[in-house]
Structure 1
Amino acid sequence: MKKVAIYGQSYSISAEKELKILLEVLQENNIVSFIEKKFYNLLVKANSLDKKYPTFSHFNDLNNSFDVLFTLGGDGTILRAVTYIRDLGIPILGINTGRLGFLATINKKTIKESVALILEGEYSIQERTLLTIKTSPETNAFSELNFALNEVTIARKNTTSMIGVETSLNNEYLTNYWADGLIIATPTGSTGYSLSCNGPVISPDSKNLVITPIAPHNLNARPMVISDETKIELTINSREKDFLISLDSRITSVSKNTKVFIEKAPFTVKSMIPNNQSFLQTLRTKLLWGEDTRNETNL
């Protein structure tokens, strides 16, 4: 490892202590660190750095000479960091200074240990599926960033009335979901918004997507797991003239006569996992799976 990028929240330096630990470890190993410019300016203003660092502020400032992009924050920080990486293939390693942290799995108390494992080659790379969308008629809202790591969500706007989301899979009609909206989630996103709407947990290496209705009115509507090779077409019926489309944390308003086409993106995001972490360990820790005194002897 010779060169890394570091991304954090540009409005908060709550991870100041963790950043200093990370920079110290990287410096000890003669690794060049680039810090995202807005985050860097915030740190400089707070006198949190002891020297100058090179910065990046755009997708074009990064390339495949970077060995990894560290994020400091929660899962939302990683979702924003993906917009810098796009299809460059730079692995992401998330240090969790937020709350739940399914993507940012490195505990802030184990930064030195985890980085040491990375430097020793004790890690694995997970290829994480993304979704991409097209609309008809076309909208310019997602012209450059028409991909999502977690999910694409269709939701009602400016109304308390449900919307109808007519759904077809590979050009075959499935059903019309009458609900507050519909989530199309990747395995990565299965532990996000979809999970809160009773969607299933899907292993990150699964070749699947999940369709999860949001508060459906037809009570027999249930989340559905499909192949990630499926092409999805959505047509929205609403009393209002607009509805909302969100790609992870990016959201736009779209006319109700717009068709939405969703499919697997032609590239993946690489997630770097030190050997002291695993998805199953994360499930036990974050979702409190197995929190039963009868299981104590098995942990």
Structure 2
Amino acid sequence: MNITIHGINFQKEFVPYIEQLIDALHQHNAKIYLTEAFLKNLKKSGAKAAGFTVLGSREELQHMDFVISVGGDGTLLDTVSMVGEYEVPILGINTGRMGFLATIAKEDVGKAVEVLFDGAFTIQDRILLNLKADQPLFNGVPYGLNEFTIHKRDTSSMITVHTYIDGEYLNSYWADGLIVSTPTGSTGYSLSCGGPLISPLAKNFVITPVSPHNLNVRPMIVSDESEITFTIEGRSKKFLISLDSRSTAVDASVKLRVKKEKFVAKLVKFHDYSFFDTLRKKLNWGFDLRN
């Protein structure tokens, strides 16, 4: 079995768990590949590891059986960007804080490898957002798992985002910005701006304004078959747009449209995984001393 391990950064206290992960993979005769970013941090941490190959190019991922993301949810989002159209299943081991996407606790890495090789898991297809623009953006990676965001840049003045659904005018949002979120991303930025929680396998996008000036404006759920287009106005000549954690400044003249990506992100979920259980644990959802 060919397995790539990817990670952006990790603290020294996580080194024993990473060594345990690599040892467990060796015990199952896996062929281990490390991304350059992960290898750099591995050397920096002083971890003891051997018997691996450095991933030479992104194209090699198409020959992988799994990619293991070691880090927090941000690392898993970066892993999704790296895997892209190859749709290699991704297993997230959480060394971060929240762990909505990277759901395997670091203490369970040994058990996780056993479950992975036993096949006691399901693979969830998570939809991605695709950004179309009339100029190249995001270095040829115009997709994201969580959300696409339009935001004011360097002024206290709000912006106006004229929004259309399949060419039909929806609304002009006077706000600090606007979020288009997938169901997966509904527990992220959208949630903090008052957006609804959406089951991750739902077929929807949610449009959530950021600090809207019109108090009667509310988040809106639309079909993920919709194409959403925008025109932006404001005092500033530049605005920020982002896909997950990647952001760039654009001119107001740039034409932007968002729709569902043709491929999906495949996330490995073990049989005891429950989205609703995760909500209760990570958000203290429904927590009450009376319970």
Distance in 1 between the 2:95 and 2:213 partners? 38
- Is 2:2–2:65's contact at 8 Å kept on the other side of the alignment? yes
Identity percentage of aligned residues: 44
Distance in 2 between the 1:289 and 1:143 partners? 38
In the alignment, what sits opposite 1:263? 259
1:213 to 194, 209, 231: 209
* Cα shift at 1:44: 2.5
115-124 or 156-165, which deviates more: 115-124
* Cα shift at 1:141: 2.4
- Is 1:13–1:42's contact at 8 Å kept on the other side of the alignment? no
Matched, 1:144 2:140: yes
Task: Assess, with a 3 A threshold, how the Cα gap between structure 1 residues 14 and 231 changes in structure 2: closer, same or farther.
Answer: farther
Matched, 1:37 2:36: yes
In the alignment, what sits opposite 2:66? 68
Matched, 1:277 2:276: no
1:231 to 227, 230, 240: 227
165-174 or 21-30, which deviates more: 21-30
* Cα shift at 1:120: 1.4
105-114 or 150-159, which deviates more: 105-114
Provide Cα deviations, 1:252-278, integer angstroms capped at 9, x if missing partner. Answer: 111112221110000001000011222
Matched, 1:103 2:79: no
2:195 to 190, 194, 199: 199
Task: Assess, with a 3 A threshold, how the Cα gap between structure 1 residues 97 and 216 changes in structure 2: closer, same or farther.
Answer: same
* Cα shift at 1:11: 7.0
Matched, 1:127 2:121: no
Matched, 1:188 2:184: yes
Q: Give the partner amino acid of 1:40.
A: L
After TM superposition, the runs of 4+ consecutive aligned structure 1 residues lying more than 4 A away are 10-14
Matched, 1:158 2:157: no
- What is the TM-score with the length of structure 2 in the denominator? 0.95
Q: Which runs of 5+ in 1 are unaligned?
A: none
- What is the TM-score with the length of structure 1 in the denominator? 0.93
| SS of 1:194 mapped into structure 2 | helix
Aligned Cα root-mean-square deviation (Å) = 1.5
| SS of 1:54 mapped into structure 2 | strand
In the alignment, what sits opposite 2:114? 116
- Is 1:228–1:264's contact at 8 Å kept on the other side of the alignment? yes
- Is 1:38–1:57's contact at 8 Å kept on the other side of the alignment? no
Aligned length: 291
Provide Cα deviations, 1:202-246, integer angstroms capped at 9, x if missing partner. Answer: 111100010000000000111111100001010001101111110
Q: Give the partner amino acid of 1:164.
A: T
Q: Give the partner amino acid of 1:72.
A: V
| SS of 1:216 mapped into structure 2 | coil
* Cα shift at 1:14: 5.1
